[in-house]
Structure 1
Amino acid sequence: MFSFPLLSGGDHILYGIDILNCKKSYSRFDGLVEGLLPKVQELYLSEQRKPKKEKNPIYEQFLNILNDGVALVKKCKNTSRYNVFQNLRYASQIHQLEKEITDFVRYQMPVNLSLDVKNFIEELKNLRQLCEKGSVDERKVNEAIVPKLTNDPQKNAVMLQQIGSDDMFDGVLDEAPPSPKSDFVVGLEKNISNVKRILLDRDVSVVGVDGMGGVGKTTMAMALSDDQEIKGVFRNNIVFITVSQSPNLKVILETMWEKIVRRKKPEFQSVEDAHRQLQQQLLRQAKPTLVVLDDVWSRANLENLLFEGEGYKTLVTTRDRSTIPTTTSIRIYELPVLDDADAMPLFCFWAFGQKSIPSSADEHLVKQVQAECKGLPLALKVIGSSLHGEPRPVWESAKNKLRNGESISDYHKEGLLRRLESSIDVLDEEARECFLDLGSFPEDRKISVDALLDIWVYVRKMEWHDAFVILLELARRNLLNLTSNLRSRAINYGSASELYFSQHDVMRDLALHLASRDRIVQRKRLFMPKKEESLPGKWEVLKDQAFDAQVVSIHTGAMEEDQWCEMNFRQAEALVLNFSASNYFLPSFLSSMTKLKVLIVLNYGSKRATVNGLPAPSSLTQLRTIRLERLNVPSLQEHSRAFQSLEKLSLSLCEGLGNMSRFNSTQSSLKLPIMLDFNLDHCCDLEELPPGICDMSSVENWSITNCHLLQKLPDDMGKLCSLRMLRLSACLGLKELPDSIGKLGKLEYLDISLCECLKELPEEIGQLKKLQVLDMRECSRLRKLPKSVEGLKSLKHVICDEKIGQQWLRVKSSVLKELRVEIVDAHFSLDWLDG
């Protein structure tokens, strides 16, 4: 349910679409509908005339299913072949419709309709199969649809942009795409050169770059950080830090110590103490150092982050010129919007994938749309991306809507939002709703993709793979940025757990703007735009009224029990609590949120927080998923009987699980919910999993990663009989896999990468008859494969290091002819922890 399906046959969908080849099938489909619908409608009307007790509801049910199918195929017919993401979703939905009708026929359909309906189903299958014929090569399609993400969000944006091209399936897709860096800074070259000249001036210690949101400040700062001349001066001593609107200054100063001083940091008592000690150290260790402070909002914050030292320089980006102090060693550079000469190449790059207007486009119309972006790089990028591959009427509509917006002034956010809103208009209703949910999370922070997908799955009622496709669509349109700590070149089954998203503050402003048009109590989403010390005053004034919000997001510091007021959120299905503190009391109104399905608690503080106020489980009977980050969590066994309707539990960077290993199996048994997903990541005190934890016979995804003290897995792991994905990545102390792993008869994906103490694989691993992907890179002590691996008949892809890779190549040549062996270099990184 929460995993991205492998691109195989059977119940999985081969994701490659050429919608033009479906026209004949559409005609046959329309003919069948014309003959079938009147018959079903006639039966339905005849049933309506019967007494209530004699009515058979199946005709009404099937009529609804049939009408849904007609609407779906109509949407598919009207979709451009270049809109890959929409086609993916429609192909998936046709597949689901086909299964639904098949089940209906099998169990409920009267004989007199069976033949007609079976013909109808056959035509649905033809439609789907024709759509799938574009999938010429499984690996190529996977790497084309889900591209090779890196830890650079700007590169990712360019790669995702290329997905919509009409030749996406042509050529060899194994080669990495060309570096996008030179293309991405189109239009900013002159400004970058000017700022670099000022920055390298010996008499300058601080350069401030100011300009409105979306003008390209962050892009410029990133380009300068990667500039070869700048690297030649500062070498490896370049530090990039996003400060943002509500920064945790102590955490930022701790990060600066670690990245500049590169020694164990002291226990700072306060922001002032951290600044003092870091300043003293910088005066002692004189060396060329460049610190980039991106997106600074206040002078008070900036003054706590500025330092002096020989060769030490700071580049600051801000929207507000007054943020930067004026001294003889500080220079301010105002970043203007682009003139037409620079704006057009940037716009064309995102709209057409080249730096000029193609001969096939309407030059006058393109110039009109570009002019309406008023030289703002973010608007050029976002609007250009949204129009990529779209027909002329969409361009005309965009031009007219842009013209209705007010002119953009330096800080005229409203005008920008109205212009950027046209990029949301090209999304269908479902994708638009998903975009608005982005306002639940702070801007400029890396958030686990899983947290966002949970809202879409449980609140928006979406299938997991449909939600994942929308995520990629929003990324392609530059409405969010994707980053990854994936070491493989392609995203595949299970990799969403290693993906993170962030959003530019202007794009979050747009989501907040669109989500807040109704009165507060009538909004479908209720968001706090920024961190505050308590609930907004407007909310508290209305606390006696019932709020309609489905999704509620609260962003505060530490909260005590008496700081909360009772709020009526009885319609809320998702609650996101963002905070920065070492102690936090959950809101008192949580127990009254009887429809709550998703609870996300994210701590951005430097230390793990102790959380109190967990309501009685009986009050949250609808709760399906809990995600906790950077918390001290209660011992698992104390709450093992709670939340028995829970389907997914995710704990990241949490402590408090160490005593699980001392849980005595002779005491009361560990009764966990019947979950589908169980995820532990970076739980640094977890030493051993307790007896009874493998009694989750329905769990499909088990992910225990970066738990360095974990040395042993339960002997009875084979009881996880429904398991399809098992991730054990970076469990550095894990010494062996239990023999019972061979009993995991449904396992398709196994990740043991970075398990450095693992010396051998059990012979029983050869019993995993459905295993398709095995990731075993950087298992440095694992020198020999067991003979039994030759029995892994379903194995399609192995990712490993050079030495063990040679053994796999021999297995491939002798037994597993279809196996793809991907040999990778060591590349361990903790960059994802930044920000």
Structure 2
Amino acid sequence: MVNASDGVVGAVFGELFGIVKHLVKTVVVFRGNLKKIKDTLSSIEPIINEIDKYNNMLEHPQEMRPIKDLLEEGKGLVNKCSKIHMLNLCTTYTHSKKLTHFNAAVLEKFQIYMPLLNVMTSKETSVKVTEIGGDVKELLSVLSNSAAHQSGLETMGNLAVPAAPHFIVGLEMEASLSKLKEQLLKEGVSVIVVTAPGGCGKTTLLKKLCHEVAIEGKFEDKIMFVPVSKKPNLRDIVQKMYQHNRFKVPEIKSDEDAVHCLQQLVNKIGQNPVLLVLDDVWKESESIIDKFVCDDIKDYKIVVTSRYEFPRFRPVHHLNPLTHDEAMELFRQCVTVDDRSMGAPDAKLLNQIVEHCKRLPLVIKVVAKSLRGKDYAFWRKKLHELSEGHSLLDLDNEILACLKKSLDDLDGDPLIKQRFMDLGSFPEDCKIPATALIDMWVELYKLDSDGVRATPDLHELDYRNLADLVVPRRDSRDDDESYRSHYVMQHDLLRELAIMECNQGEVEKRERLILDLMGNNFPNWWREQKQQPLRARLVSISTDGKFSTPWLNLELPEAEALVLNFQTNMQTKTYALPEFIAKSHKLKALIVTNYSFFPAELGNFHVIESNLRRIRLERVTVPFLSMGKIRLHSLKKISFFMCDISQTSTSNDAKISDAMPNLEELDIDYCNDLVTLPDGICEIKPLRKLSITNCHSFSALPEQLGQSASLEVIRLNSCTNLSRFPDSIRSLQNLRFLDISDCLNLSALPDQIGQVVNLERINMKGCLRLSGLPRSIVKLRNLQKVVCENEKAVMWGPLQDTLTGLEITLFEEEASLDWLHD
């Protein structure tokens, strides 16, 4: 029988959550700490509700007592903090640290229960909970299977507000921020349009607005930030909104169905204030705004950003360019290096350059960063370039012309310009995986296979404000510099510039061919099939949901990289690779990305060319375990991201090792149906890197793992169902890096770990059940670094006398559960 005291976890949680939400608005001195705790509590609230609901079904309800005690402790702490005066600096500092530690403790405690969050939306899994009862920790293997698909989808469906800039320049921006905040906080306004030319900072303003304390306090987790762009897909937007609000994502087959589902969702969440940001709506897409309007919901606000003013929607807020003084201030900030003033030789020259930037933040940043550290002659040359072409009437064209002038020299380094132009191969407003760019650049520019020489170019593009390199907080633990969770984003004006540069000259002679197909509307030169063989080395083809095969033929004898971006057909959910791939004999890199919400079945896989060296597949269904019949003898790396790959193979299937005998790197991320790997993987002798990450159903490495004698890196982070290593791991004499971070179910390192004598680094952050180290650990004489939390560091501390080169790095990144759903 359940003790009454164990059935009130939800009640204690509710009291704590209520206090925290109140104090966030009223206690200034601890607001930052309290807001983080509020965000944490918001994330775990659904779990708390289910814990109380299912408590009577558990054989060991006392397992809930530590949670209840922790929440009681937190309630006492925040109450105490509410009474501390802000001038009591010593006490304020001490209790700020206590709040931080409490937040981290809650996050760590709930990591083991977090899979419940998505599971409870599944009726099938709810039945399983009823049937198994038992220890909560034992639920993990069942829960992760059911939650896996959804948590993987959330990687591409995140509508959370992007990080806010540290500062915004200009009284106009400050006034706009204040006015928009006032409009959102009062009743009666349902749609607000923020309009300005490209590059004025509309998106920056909205990011800052959504992170304002008053706005976050009112709308809480019901703020959705939706990039709409030039070709909006209503179905996908609605599906992402369902996912963001933690509802089961419906399959939507038409725009009419999407509107119906949207209305249902708004009615569900509209009891609380809702804020929807539709960012970058094009003139041609005005009708999409109507789909989101719902006048029956009292506190449902929509903010639209656009280069165009939509007369039917009011109020309209015009965001003006910076004043001259503000533009000068921003320019000076961007042209400064290491706090040393890098101003122009004279004020007149500086004034003239700033005026030619049209006082637009984006242009100012790009131009200023191109002038960093340059002498007088270069500044004069830049002014002359900017002064040309001022007869243009269209502001967007004039901005592009101005940006182009800063692109043409790039320190005389044409390689950076080439990399910039390559970014146009990916769709507007998308997060471009850094690894996809690196794969492409390695083959196009004949770089080292690990991409080490490619990564500085990512930072150079970011430094010059030609793109934004997005580095997730959770990836600060990525010791081997793989850039696996990094993304590149590009302002749409800069993307237009990149494509404009790529489209210079005759189609047949271009080095890059970037094609954006609407339905089956092929360009005339392609449809008529009169063109000569194309010389393009990089080819990018994007298709929308109305595209259907067959593909028309293309002759690409020089193509070395092919990027295929697609959205699935509403009815078929299939995508066929074009037949012309089979005749593109120089093709080395293939990147295929499905931008629809659900995976699409990938057909025509037989056309894959044997000369391919790198393949990256995202959000597709492809039978990896049955690939033994294809021949990819040149393949060095294959990557699967959010793919369905684990279709059952038969004993008659040829071995993977026969299909890709020279594979050096296998990367599988968020492939939620993967349970194990085929044994043939271990027979691929050159395999150096094995990455199985965020695969929550993955439960076992092949027993023959020790045969992979060339393995240098094994990454298994966030494989929550993995419980053990095979004994043969002792044979991996070349292994240098082992990442088992966030493997929640892993209870021990292998007894034979000491025989992996060249192991240099271990990341074991988040291994909650790992409670001890095997005796053989003392034999790891080359071990240099271990990443773990405080409580695990206690196990390693005594070994530092024996392992004299060992550095124990405490994982001090801000605790977060985002790795499960971001």
Calculate the TM-score normalised by the size of structure 2.
0.74
Q: Is the 8 A contact 1:723 1:746 kept in 2?
A: yes
In the other structure, the counterpart of 1:607 is: 598
What letter corresponds to residue 763 of structure 2 in structure 1? Answer: D
Matches within 5 A, 1:527-676: 527-529=514-516, 532-541=519-528, 543-558=530-545, 562-581=549-568, 582-616=573-607, 620-660=609-649, 663-664=650-651, 670-673=657-660, 674-676=662-664
Q: Offset of 1:185 from its aligned partner?
A: 7.5
Q: How does 1:446-461 map to 2 (within 5 A)?
A: 446-461=431-446
Aligned residue type for 2:791: K
Aligned residues, how many? 650
What is the CA-CA distance between 1:636 and the residue it aligns to?
2.9
Partner of 2:800, secondary structure, is: helix
Q: 1:667 to 1:604 in 2, by over 3 A?
A: closer
Preserved contact between residue 743 and residue 767 of structure 2 (Cα < 8 Å): yes
* 8 Å Cα contact 1:211-1:319 kept in structure 2: yes
Which deviates the most, 604-613 or 766-775?
766-775
Task: State which of 370, 379, 388 in structure 2 corresponds to 1:386.
Answer: 370
Displacement of 1:477 in angstroms is: 1.2
Task: Tell me if the contact between 2:542 and 2:564 (Cα under 8 Å) persists in the aligned partners.
Answer: yes
On the 8 A contact 1:534/1:563 being kept in 2, the answer is no
1:700-737, Cα deviation, whole Å (9 max, x unpaired): 21111111111110111122222222111111111111
The one of 357, 363, 369 aligned to 1:373: 357
Question: In the TM superposition, what whole-angstrom CA distance separates every residue of 1:674-694 from its partner, at most 9, and x where no partner exists?
Answer: 111111111111111112111
Secondary structure at 2:476 match in 1 = coil
Report the Cα offset of residue 383 of structure 1: 1.6
Q: Which moved more, 1:206-215 or 1:782-791?
A: 782-791
Q: Which string of whole-angstrom CA distances, capped at 9 and with x for unpartnered residues, describes residues 446-488 of structure 1?
A: 1211111111111111232111111111111121122234525
Q: Is the 8 A contact 2:625 2:678 kept in 1?
A: no
- In the alignment, residue 588 of structure 1 is paired with which amino acid? E
Distance 1:708 1:675 in 2: 24
Residue in 2 aligned with 1:4? none
Q: d(CA) in 2 for partners of 1:793 and 1:422? A: 56
Taking the aligned partners of 1:185 and 1:787, their CA distance within structure 2 comes to 62
Once residues 277 and 760 of structure 2 are traced to their aligned partners in structure 1, the CA distance between those partners, rounded to angstroms, is 44
- The 5 A counterparts of 1:678-827 are 678-812=666-800, 815-824=803-812, 826-827=815-816
Does residue 306 of structure 2 align to residue 318 of structure 1? Answer: yes
1:215 maps to a residue whose letter is C
Deviation of 1:790 after TM superposition, in Å, equals: 2.8
- 1:783 is displaced (CA, Å) by 1.4
Displacement of 1:781: 0.9
Structure 2 matches for 1:132-531, cutoff 5 A?
A: 181-182=166-167, 188-260=173-245, 262-283=246-267, 285-297=270-282, 298-308=285-295, 309-322=297-310, 325-326=312-313, 330-352=314-336, 362-406=346-390, 411-424=394-407, 425-427=409-411, 428-463=413-448, 464-489=451-476, 492-529=479-516
Given residue 503 of structure 1, which amino acid in structure 2 is its aligned partner? Answer: Q
Distance 1:791 1:183 in 2: 54
Deviation at 1:639, TM superposition (A): 3.7
Aligned to 1:47: none
Percent of residue pairs bearing the same amino acid type: 34
Offset at residue 816 of structure 1 (A)? 3.2
Between 1:228-237 and 1:601-610, the stretch displaced more is 228-237
Give the deviation of 1:545 after TM superposition: 1.7
CA shift in 2, pair 1:830/1:806, >3 Å: closer
1:630 and 1:741 mapped to 2: Cα distance?
Answer: 31
Aligned to 1:46: none
Looking at structure 1, the residues matched to 374 and 735 of structure 2 have their Cα atoms a distance apart, in angstroms, of: 41
Q: Secondary structure at the match of 1:692?
A: helix
For 1:581-634, what per-residue CA distance to the aligned partner results, in whole angstroms no more than 9, with x for missing partners? Answer: 0211221222211111111111011221112223455xx232111111111102
Q: Is the 8 A contact 2:618 2:643 kept in 1?
A: yes
**How far apart are 1:244 and its partner, in Å?**
1.3
CA deviation after TM superposition for structure 1 residue 283, in Å: 3.7
- Aligned equivalents of 2:648 and 2:474: distance in 1? 32
Q: Secondary structure at 1:370's aligned position in 2?
A: helix
Give me the whole-angstrom Cα distance separating, in 2, the residues matched to 1:238 and 1:496: 29
* Superposed CA offset, 1:175-226 (max 9, x none): xxxx961257786223222332333342211111112221111101101111
Which blocks of at least 5 consecutive residues in structure 1 are unaligned?
Answer: 1-150, 156-178
1:152 touches 1:483 (CA, 8 Å); kept in 2?
no
Give secondary structure in 2 for the equivalent of 1:188. helix
Using a 3 Å threshold, how does the CA distance of structure 1 residues 152 and 684 change in structure 2: closer, same or farther?
closer
> Using the alignment, how far apart are the partners of 2:614 and 2:170 within structure 1?
41
Change (3 A) 1:246 1:305: same
Provide, for residues 747-766 of structure 1, a one-character-per-residue CA deviation record: whole Å limited to 9, x for no partner. 22211111111110012222
1:402–1:422: 8 Å Cα contact kept in structure 2?
Answer: yes
Does the 8 Å contact 2:508/2:531 carry over to 1?
Answer: no
Query: Do the aligned residues in 2 keep the contact of 1:553 with 1:575 (CA within 8 Å)?
Result: yes
Is residue 773–residue 796 contact of structure 1 (8 Å, CA) maintained in 2? yes
Question: How far does residue 397 in structure 1 lie from its aligned partner after superposition?
Answer: 2.3
Aligned with 2:181: secondary structure? helix
SS at match of 2:679: coil
What residue in structure 2 maps to residue 76 of structure 1? none
Change in Cα spacing, 1:795 to 1:647, as seen in structure 2 (3 Å) is same
Any conservation in 2 of the 1:783–1:803 contact (CA below 8 Å)? no
Does structure 2 retain, via aligned residues, the 8 Å contact 1:558–1:583?
A: no
The Cα of 1:769 is off from its aligned counterpart by: 2.9
| Distance in 1 between residues matched to 2:343 and 2:743, nearest whole Å | 54
**Contact 2:682–2:708 (8 Å) recurs in 1:** yes
Q: Is the 8 A contact 1:187 1:343 kept in 2?
A: no
The amino acid of 2:377's aligned partner reads P
Unpaired stretches in structure 2, ≥5 consecutive residues: 1-158
User: What SS is found at the alignment partner of 2:436?
Assistant: helix
Q: Which sits farther off after the overlay, 218-227 or 181-190?
A: 181-190
Query: Displacement of 1:575 after TM fit?
Result: 1.0
Where in structure 2 are the equivalents of 1:63-142 lying within 5 Å? Answer: none
Tell me, in whole angstroms, the C-alpha distance in 1 between the residues paired with 2:787 and 2:345.
44
Partners of 1:524 and 1:766 lie apart in 2 by 52
CA–CA distance in 1 between the matches of 2:821 and 2:399?
Answer: 31
CA spacing shift, 1:555–1:648, aligned 2, 3 Å:
same
Structure 1 residue identity aligned to 2:203? T
Amino acid at match of 1:656: I
Taking a change above 3 Å as real, the CA distance of residues 429 and 601 of structure 1, as seen in their structure-2 partners, is same
Structure 2 vs 1, CA of residues 250 and 565 (structure 1 numbering), >3 Å: closer, same or farther?
Answer: same
CA RMSD of aligned residues (A): 2.8
Q: Taking structure 1 as reference, are residues 208 and 560 closer, same or farther at Cα in structure 2, changes over 3 Å only?
A: closer
Query: Tell me, what secondary structure is at the counterpart of 1:683?
Result: coil
1:725–1:748 contact (8 Å) kept in structure 2: yes
Kindly provide the CA deviation profile for residues 360-418 of structure 1, in whole angstroms up to 9, marking residues without a partner as x: 96433332222211111110122222223333333232222111142676x53322122
